[in-house]
């Protein structure tokens, strides 16, 4: 990273942490140059970058100020307080009516779960897929059989090792995307009727998986910045015969929460105490802004109770449907379930990804992707501050590509969803993210797509919210 | 097809149907030329082909005779008589110990479920994958979302239409191989504890799917030539609350049976009468010998009760893991289950297959593949007649790549499997194919692999059987 980028990151982190508040004057170029021991040109470049990200603004003859709109004028949503009882789950109708919209390119995809495909290195991926496929011998058509392509598993293990997670090639099982991995992990440790702890608000696919496997959900509150509420989890573990937890520790979907390292350690310790397996969904872990990579809870797992799931779908190759599991002590069961349900992931995409990862350039791509998403978050936060009523609350996640918004009490997100769709805009309404259809006045917005349609769409959304809240 | 190939097929069909028995003298070249109104050269070519397939042999100064070894000296296995009660299923341990061997290239893969990868058009597939992937726009990364790639679904619908099955593009759902399709169909129509009718002997993955979904199996006998025993099925439908059937109507695995068109019609009629859905596994349907394409039972389905599943894994592109379902009236449920478990099949392989199918050459490849498999079947039948005890019985399927053998009563197939594996040979022992571990003295052999190791392996296998039966 260049010196000016480092400086910009340092200042951005202070703004995000509210050390610098909206409207605060920041150091002049001369002051900053002296304080950080860099040239004035470097400070100019850093300030230019921050201005471009919407974090600061220059005022004529007066210097630089933290932007009013960023990191967002609006307060963050309140911590959730889900119902403490366990529930049979039924969210599918709602989810499917929303999934259908994703495929329609005419709809502004603020409700989408995917980032814009324009953010990925398709040309490089194509070259890797083509080279790797050409080099495959026919006999390697069985090479993808569980646990999966050896070269790809080695690349994945190497990346984890580089990030401080001790895994070997043997620990990696390739799956058809993270969702299959998560489903297999869940099935490996539960029987129909069992109770599983999930986040509230939480990823709807987790709720669907519970529904499909006829499991019961206990919803654990999620703080919009700190993640799973550990005292609430401890209480639930005492009250319910919880057989597994399915949590997202980094940039949780939809709230955007990041669990601190200390809280992850505590989570692992607490679950080990109760011998409860953790299914850790880390598909957004690589999409961190500013600061360094956040270790997953798996890093602190000494008992093999954490099943770690991730994929390339959100960070490199959507559509390839290649993910992986680090299964802890449940490896054999998960590998067998994979054999029994889909046999193996597709061989050419596995080989293509292995080739891409071995060729270098993945980290450069990721740095660019993170910068873009961080900028787009700022754009969207600014637009929301401009167009939405002032009593809306919005999350300010330090990674991923989702904002979680609490709208005025009187706004029905399902109604908003229907009205927005009539205007060609999709959103993800709050009740999607709860087994009990809570979060009636919440929505999730995706800033992973940013084109000329998004700002006008947000303006229209603001008008609709105002109309519904009056 | 050339004239001489047609003639050879006609004669081969008579031999297979035992109109011509081993040792029978067949028409001289002159007689055949007159009878079939073809030139003597054409008859010579046909006889040469039949000789090469091991079906006939020339005897000096005496003419041509049906080969003693072919279509096999041995009788066919007896029709099965499975236990009529329903059972909870547990075959997995056995299956996994055998699946592990597939990946070891040092083992002669007579127990494998896959044909030799050398039989597939890898170069053409590579060119199609590479061209199609290069042409994909990033936005098509969502194009694979359920029901799947439009171009591929159109090609699949066209092939079915060409074979007399009325389907539209909308009827096709792409899956991660046929096995995922079968699993989704099963889940779409059952709840844990339900009873499902399967074939006995039957495909072990069906038994595993039942086990995984906690369903009970009622095993229906299979005649080695005629397939599912319909009176037995009718009786089972009266005795048990059967919620679905999972049958393989063409070249059933492992017995090789082909249901006639009349019996398929009767099957569809019987199930419609009881409103029981049929999950039809047709992965070997394209691998017919001699005669024409055999319509699946789906062709006769007027009520939308048949869920048809197939894939490219056994006929074109193993390792791509692309299959499809024609879901009848259960389309929405199956599409949703697909979203919930693996989201979609991998996009580049879907696009590559669509490109390959649109470019032509698939039928030529299939003709070559069928010829090769038919020849390899003859080679294996001949070797078995030569090396195995005379009281062994063997199936003579008219398609696919499996032989089903009934060994002398005293031979334990599991013991044979263990001894053979010590000598570097895998076989699939009979108990794999039954929820109740029946078929103790049966084995399935794969003639989809034929290299210089196979004949010596069959000789060793014959010695082992002799040793175990004495």
Give contacts of A101 with chain B, Cβ < 8 Å: none
- Name, in order, each residue with C-beta under 8 angstroms of A194's C-beta and a sequence gap of 6 or more: A215, A216, A241, A243, A244
Token couple for B303:
């009520």
Yes or no, beta carbons of A336 and B142 under 8 Å apart: no
Q: Looking at B362, B386, B410, which one is the last position of a domain?
A: B362
pLDDT at B57 over 90: no
Give contacts of A336 with chain B, Cβ < 8 Å: 92, 96
Q: How many beta-carbon pairs below 8 A join chains A and B?
A: 162
pLDDT at A70 over 60: no
Place of tokens 């399915």: A246
Measured between alpha carbons, how far is residue A337 from residues A118, A188, A235, B223 in Å?
34, 8, 32, 31
CATH of the domain at A21: 1.10.10.10
Q: For B276-304, write each residue's pLDDT tens digit.
A: 999 999 999 999 997 688 999 999 999 99
Give contacts of A318 with chain B, Cβ < 8 Å: 141-142
Yes or no, beta carbons of A340 and B212 under 8 Å apart: yes
Mean pLDDT over B119-131 rounds to 96
| Domain tally, chain B | 3
Same domain (yes/no): A101, A165? no
Yes or no, beta carbons of B352 and A349 under 8 Å apart: no
Residue A144 is predicted with a pLDDT of 75
Mean pLDDT over A375-389 rounds to 94
* A213 touching B (Cβ < 8 Å): no
In angstroms, rounded to a whole number, what is the distance separating the alpha carbons of residues B189 and B187? 5
In angstroms, rounded to a whole number, what is the distance separating the alpha carbons of residues B305 and B282? 16
> For residue A292, how many other CB atoms are within 10 A of its CB?
7
pLDDT at B340 over 80: yes
Yes or no, beta carbons of B129 and A348 under 8 Å apart: yes
User: How do A227-228 and A242-247 pair as beta strands?
Assistant: unpaired
Same domain (yes/no): B246, B353? yes
Nearest to B105 among A139, A192, A341 (CB): A139
Same domain (yes/no): A241, A350? yes
3-state SS class at B220: strand
More confident residue, A276 or A340: A276
User: How do A306-311 and A323-326 pair as beta strands?
Assistant: antiparallel
In angstroms, rounded to a whole number, what is the distance separating the alpha carbons of residues B410 and B235? 32
Residue B291 is predicted with a pLDDT of 67
The candidate with the shortest Cα–Cα distance to B346, out of A349, A149, A312, A180, is A349
Same domain (yes/no): A166, A207? yes
> For residue B14, how many other CB atoms are within 10 A of its CB?
16
* A449 touching B (Cβ < 8 Å): no
* B75 touching A (Cβ < 8 Å): no
* Domain assignment of residue A194, yes or no: yes
Q: For A322-368, write each residue's pLDDT tens digit.
A: 999 999 999 999 999 999 999 999 999 999 999 999 999 999 999 99
Yes or no, beta carbons of A176 and B176 under 8 Å apart: yes
Whether residue B25 contacts residue B63, with contact meaning beta carbons closer than 8 Å, is answered with yes
- Name, in order, each residue with C-beta under 8 angstroms of B282's C-beta and a sequence gap of 6 or more: B248, B249, B250, B296, B298, B308, B309, B310
Same domain (yes/no): B347, B406? no
As a whole number of Å, the CA-based R_g of chain B is: 22
Whether residue A351 contacts residue A149, with contact meaning beta carbons closer than 8 Å, is answered with yes
* B114 touching A (Cβ < 8 Å): yes
* A34 touching B (Cβ < 8 Å): no
> For residue A408, how many other CB atoms are within 10 A of its CB?
17
Nearest CA in chain A to B178: A342
* A100 touching B (Cβ < 8 Å): no
Same domain (yes/no): B374, B358? no
Nearest to B342 among A120, A136, A321 (CB): A321
Q: Looking at A362, A379, A394, which one is the last position of a domain?
A: A362
Yes or no, beta carbons of B319 and A180 under 8 Å apart: no
Nearest to B318 among A120, A141, A336 (CB): A141
Yes or no, beta carbons of B99 and A129 under 8 Å apart: no
* Domain assignment of residue B285, yes or no: yes
Residue A270: pLDDT band with limits 50, 70, 90: very high
Whether residue B91 contacts residue B207, with contact meaning beta carbons closer than 8 Å, is answered with yes
Residue B178: pLDDT band with limits 50, 70, 90: very high
Yes or no, beta carbons of B346 and A347 under 8 Å apart: no
Dihedral angle at the C-alpha atoms of B309, B315, B317, B319, nearest 10 degrees? 70
In angstroms, rounded to a whole number, what is the distance separating the alpha carbons of residues B319 and A45? 50
3-state SS class at B251: coil
pLDDT at A97 over 80: no
Nearest to B122 among A105, A138, A342 (CB): A138
Yes or no, beta carbons of B319 and A129 under 8 Å apart: no
* CA quadruple A221, A223, A228, A229: dihedral sign: negative
Residue A467: pLDDT band with limits 50, 70, 90: very high
Yes or no, beta carbons of A179 and B103 under 8 Å apart: no
Yes or no, beta carbons of B348 and A92 under 8 Å apart: no
pLDDT at A283 over 80: yes
* Domain assignment of residue A237, yes or no: yes
C-beta contacts of A261-268 below 8 A and 24+ residues apart: A261/A294, A261/A295, A263/A226, A263/A227, A263/A228, A263/A230, A264/A295, A264/A296, A264/A297, A264/A299, A264/A300, A265/A297, A265/A300, A266/A230, A267/A228, A267/A230, A267/A233, A267/A297, A268/A297, A268/A300, A268/A301, A268/A305, A268/A306
Q: For A150-188, write each residue's pLDDT tens digit.
A: 999 999 999 999 999 999 999 999 999 999 999 999 999
Preferred mutation among B183, B315, B321 to probe A, highest tally of A CBs within 10 A: B321
Shortest distance between the Cα of A103 and any Cα of chain B, in A, equals 7
More confident residue, B29 or B189: B189
The candidate with the shortest Cα–Cα distance to B442, out of B257, B254, B218, is B254
Nearest CA in chain A to B188: A212
In angstroms, rounded to a whole number, what is the distance separating the alpha carbons of residues A465 and A156? 44
Residue A245 is predicted with a pLDDT of 98
Same domain (yes/no): B309, B203? yes
Yes or no, beta carbons of A342 and B342 under 8 Å apart: yes
* B320 touching A (Cβ < 8 Å): yes
pLDDT at B73 over 60: no
* Domain assignment of residue B77, yes or no: no
In angstroms, rounded to a whole number, what is the distance separating the alpha carbons of residues B161 and B157? 6
pLDDT at A72 over 60: no
Nearest to A192 among B114, B140, B192 (CB): B192
pLDDT at A386 over 90: yes
Yes or no, beta carbons of A322 and B346 under 8 Å apart: yes
Residue A376: pLDDT band with limits 50, 70, 90: very high
Nearest CA in chain B to A94: B336
More confident residue, A7 or B400: B400
Token couple for B228:
């599912």
Domain that holds residue B213: 121-362
CATH of the domain at A201: 3.40.640.10
* Domain assignment of residue B83, yes or no: no
Shortest distance between the Cα of A282 and any Cα of chain B, in A, equals 17
* Domain assignment of residue A71, yes or no: no
Give contacts of A340 with chain B, Cβ < 8 Å: 92, 183, 205, 208-209, 212
More confident residue, B313 or B140: B313
Helical spans, DSSP H, in B229-330? 230-239, 261-273
Q: For A296-318, write each residue's pLDDT tens digit.
A: 999 999 999 999 999 999 999 99
Residue B41: pLDDT band with limits 50, 70, 90: confident
Same domain (yes/no): A254, A189? yes
* A353 touching B (Cβ < 8 Å): no
Residue A93 is predicted with a pLDDT of 72
Residue B26: pLDDT band with limits 50, 70, 90: confident
Mean pLDDT over B45-67 rounds to 82
In angstroms, rounded to a whole number, what is the distance separating the alpha carbons of residues A71 and A74? 9
Give contacts of B352 with chain A, Cβ < 8 Å: 348
Shortest distance between the Cα of A298 and any Cα of chain B, in A, equals 23
Mean pLDDT of chain A: 91
Place of tokens 């990346």: A159
In angstroms, rounded to a whole number, what is the distance separating the alpha carbons of residues B356 and B362? 8
Nearest to B348 among A138, A180, A320 (CB): A320
- Name, in order, each residue with C-beta under 8 angstroms of B297's C-beta and a sequence gap of 6 or more: B247, B249, B259, B264, B265, B267, B268, B278, B280, B306
Residue B70 is predicted with a pLDDT of 55
> For residue A166, how many other CB atoms are within 10 A of its CB?
10
Residue A35: pLDDT band with limits 50, 70, 90: confident
Same domain (yes/no): A351, A368? no
The candidate with the shortest Cα–Cα distance to B284, out of B311, B308, B259, B263, is B311
Nearest to B346 among A133, A138, A321 (CB): A321
Residue B77 is predicted with a pLDDT of 80
Yes or no, beta carbons of A346 and B320 under 8 Å apart: yes
Nearest to A346 among B183, B341, B349 (CB): B349
The candidate with the shortest Cα–Cα distance to A11, out of A76, A75, A66, is A66
Q: In whole angstroms, what separates CA B279 from the centre of its chain?
A: 15
Q: How far apart are the first and last CA of chain A?
A: 48
Residue A11 is predicted with a pLDDT of 84
Give contacts of A133 with chain B, Cβ < 8 Å: 126, 129-130
Measured between alpha carbons, how far is residue A438 from residues A89, A265, B10 in Å?
13, 29, 70
Whether residue A269 contacts residue A297, with contact meaning beta carbons closer than 8 Å, is answered with no
Shortest distance between the Cα of A344 and any Cα of chain B, in A, equals 7
Residue A95 is predicted with a pLDDT of 80
CATH of the domain at B438: 3.90.1150.10
> For residue A325, how many other CB atoms are within 10 A of its CB?
30
In angstroms, rounded to a whole number, what is the distance separating the alpha carbons of residues B352 and A134? 13
In angstroms, rounded to a whole number, what is the distance separating the alpha carbons of residues B115 and B430? 19
Whether residue B218 contacts residue B200, with contact meaning beta carbons closer than 8 Å, is answered with no
pLDDT at A195 over 80: yes
pLDDT at B139 over 60: yes
* Domain assignment of residue A201, yes or no: yes
Shortest distance between the Cα of B370 and any Cα of chain A, in A, equals 19
Residue A242 φ then ψ, to 5°: -70, 125
* B442 touching A (Cβ < 8 Å): no
Same domain (yes/no): B356, B418? no
In angstroms, rounded to a whole number, what is the distance separating the alpha carbons of residues A27 and A54? 17
Q: In whole angstroms, what separates CA A105 from the centre of its chain?
A: 23
B 228-287 residues with CB < 8 A to A: none
Q: For B74-108, write each residue's pLDDT tens digit.
A: 677 877 777 777 766 666 677 877 777 777 888 99
In angstroms, rounded to a whole number, what is the distance separating the alpha carbons of residues A186 and B384? 46
DSSP string, B273-293: HTT--EEEE-TTTT-B-SSPP
Residue A221 is predicted with a pLDDT of 94
Reported ipTM: the value is 0.84
Mean pLDDT of chain B: 91
Residue B137 is predicted with a pLDDT of 86
Q: How many CA atoms lie within 13 A of A335 on its CB side?
A: 22
Helical spans, DSSP H, in A83-148? 92-102, 122-135
How open is the CA angle A205-A72-A280, to the nearest 5 degrees? 25
Residue B69 is predicted with a pLDDT of 63
Residue B37 is predicted with a pLDDT of 86
- Name, in order, each residue with C-beta under 8 angstroms of A272's C-beta and a sequence gap of 6 or more: A302, A303, A305
Q: In whole angstroms, what separates CA A419 from the centre of its chain?
A: 27
Residue B386: pLDDT band with limits 50, 70, 90: very high
Nearest to A96 among B141, B336, B341 (CB): B336
Cis peptide, bond prior to residue B254, ω within 30 of zero: yes
Yes or no, beta carbons of A348 and B145 under 8 Å apart: no
Q: Is the pTM of this model over 0.90?
A: no
* Domain assignment of residue B80, yes or no: no
Residue A440 is predicted with a pLDDT of 94
In angstroms, rounded to a whole number, what is the distance separating the alpha carbons of residues B229 and B82? 11
Q: For B400-454, write each residue's pLDDT tens digit.
A: 999 999 999 999 999 999 999 999 999 999 999 998 889 999 999 999 999 999 9
Sheet with B428-429: list strands edge to edge. Answer: B393-394, B402-406, B442-446, B428-429
3-state SS class at A394: strand
* B134 touching A (Cβ < 8 Å): yes
Same domain (yes/no): A358, A425? no
Mean pLDDT over A76-81 rounds to 76
User: How do A56-59 and A63-66 pair as beta strands?
Assistant: antiparallel
Same domain (yes/no): A206, A329? yes
Shortest distance between the Cα of B307 and any Cα of chain A, in A, equals 17
């Amino acid at each position: 990273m260049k010196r000016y980028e480092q400086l910009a990151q340092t200042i951005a982190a202070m703004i995000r942490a509210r050390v610098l508040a909206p409207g605060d004057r920041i150091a002049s170029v001369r002051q900053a140059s002296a304080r950080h021991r860099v040239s004035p040109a470097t400070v100019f470049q850093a300030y230019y970058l921050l201005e471009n990200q919407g974090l600061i603004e220059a005022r004529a003859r007066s210097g630089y100020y933290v932007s009013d709109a960023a990191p967002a004028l609006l307060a963050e949503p309140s911590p959730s307080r889900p119902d403490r009882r366990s529930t049979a789950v039924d969210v599918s109708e709602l989810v499917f009516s929303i999934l259908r919209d994703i495929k329609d390119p005419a709809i502004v995809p603020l409700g989408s779960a995917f980032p814009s495909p324009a953010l990925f290195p398709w040309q490089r991926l194509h070259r890797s897929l083509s080279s790797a496929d050409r080099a495959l011998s026919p006999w390697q058509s069985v090479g993808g059989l569980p646990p999966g392509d050896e070269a790809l598993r080695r690349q994945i293990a190497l990346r984890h090792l580089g990030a401080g997670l001790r895994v070997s090639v043997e620990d990696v099982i390739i799956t058809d995307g993270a969702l299959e991995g998560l489903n297999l992990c869940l099935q490996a440790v539960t029987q129909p009727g069992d109770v599983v702890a999930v986040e509230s608000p939480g990823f709807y696919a987790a709720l669907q998986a519970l529904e499909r496997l006829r499991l019961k959900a206990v919803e654990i509150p999620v703080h919009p910045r700190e993640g799973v509420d550990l005292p609430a989890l401890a209480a639930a573990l005492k009250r319910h015969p919880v057989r597994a937890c399915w949590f997202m520790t980094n940039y949780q979907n939809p709230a955007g929460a990041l669990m601190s390292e200390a809280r992850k350690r505590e989570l692992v310790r607490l679950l080990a105490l109760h011998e409860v397996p953790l299914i850790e969904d880390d598909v957004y872990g690589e999409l961190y802004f500013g600061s360094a990579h956040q270790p997953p809870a798996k890093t602190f797992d000494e008992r093999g109770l954490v099943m770690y799931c991730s994929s390339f779908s959100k960070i490199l190759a959507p559509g390839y449907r290649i993910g992986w599991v680090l299964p802890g002590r449940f490896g054999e069961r998960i590998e067998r379930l994979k054999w029994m349900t889909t046999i193996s992931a597709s061989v050419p995409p596995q080989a293509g990804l292995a080739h891409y990862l071995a060729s270098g350039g993945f980290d450069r791509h990721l740095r660019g992707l993170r910068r873009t998403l961080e900028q787009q978050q700022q754009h969207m936060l600014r637009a929301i501050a401009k167009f939405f009523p002032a009593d809306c609350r919005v999350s300010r996640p330090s990674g991923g590509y989702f904002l979680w918004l609490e709208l005025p009490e009187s706004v029905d997100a399902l109604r908003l969803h229907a009205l927005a769709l009539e205007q060609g805009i999709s959103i993800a309404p709050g009740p999607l993210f709860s087994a009990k259809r809570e979060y009636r006045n919440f929505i999730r917005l995706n800033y992973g797509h940013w084109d000329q349609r998004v700002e006008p769409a947000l303006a229209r959304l603001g008008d609709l919210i105002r109309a519904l809240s009056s």
